[in-house]
Amino acid sequence: MSSDASSRTVGAGFARGLSRRCPACGQGRLFRGYLKVEETCPSCGHVNGQYRADDGPAYFTILIVGHLVLAPLLCFGFILSWPAQVIVPLVLGFLAVVTLTLLPFVKGAFIGVQWATKGAKGT
Q: What average pLDDT score do residues 16-21 get?
A: 96
Cα dihedral 32, 37, 42, 48 in deg (nearest 10): 180
Among the listed residues 84, 42, 90, 45, the one whose alpha carbon sits nearest the alpha carbon of residue 69? 90
Q: How far is CA 16 from the centre of its chain?
A: 11
Confidence category of residue 82, pLDDT binned at 50, 70, 90? confident
Please count the CA atoms within 13 angstroms of the CA of 47 that sit on its side-chain side.
7
> Which residues fall within 8 angstroms of residue 84, CB to CB, at 6 or more apart?
none
* CA 52-47-45 angle, 5° bins: 155
The reported pTM is 0.85
pLDDT at site 26: 93
- Give the separation between CA 102 and CA 64, rounded to whole angstroms: 9
Map out the domains of the chain as residue ranges.
Answer: 10-116
The distance in angstroms from the start CA to the end CA of the chain is 24
Average pLDDT of the chain, as a whole number: 89
Position with higher pLDDT, 87 vs 1? 87
